[in-house]
Structure 1
Amino acid sequence: MSSGQVREIFGGLSRAALYRWENDDRLEFPKAIVIGNRKFFRKNEIVEFQQKRAGIKTVRCSSTDGDGGDA
């Protein structure tokens, strides 16, 4: 995802605010991947960050039966 897409996801976050988030170690904001002079972020890391900030625990299902229920 581009930095513009990330800023949009977070409600039109300013470039300055995104810079502060990236440089505040307490937030544990995902690290950008720099290509040329552009920054990109991994979508799954942004989603996990959003969920963490919202207090939603990310759960990964290891079940292979596909029903998602408890056996």
Structure 2
Amino acid sequence: MPQGPTYKELASLVRQQSAIIEKQAHQIRLLQQQVALITILEKQIEHLKAEIQYQSFFDYQSRGTLTLCVENAS
């Protein structure tokens, strides 16, 4: 009659699986950190886009004002 695995074999398998789960948990934590960093970078990019749009508008307004000043001075 076939016997199942011994206690030692089962304990060894449990240790192996525990080590794999710990490594996977560590990888998940690293991925969560990467997602958090990506989210921060996305927000910074959006902020920079808004700054660029504002600066572009400001530059456009400044050029228009300067042109009017030069034309009025002539």
Q: TM-score, length-normalised on structure 2? A: 0.18
Higher strand share: 1
Please tell me whether Structure 1 or Structure 2 has the larger radius of gyration of its CA atoms: 2
Q: Scaled by the length of structure 1, what TM-score is found?
A: 0.19
Higher helix share: 2
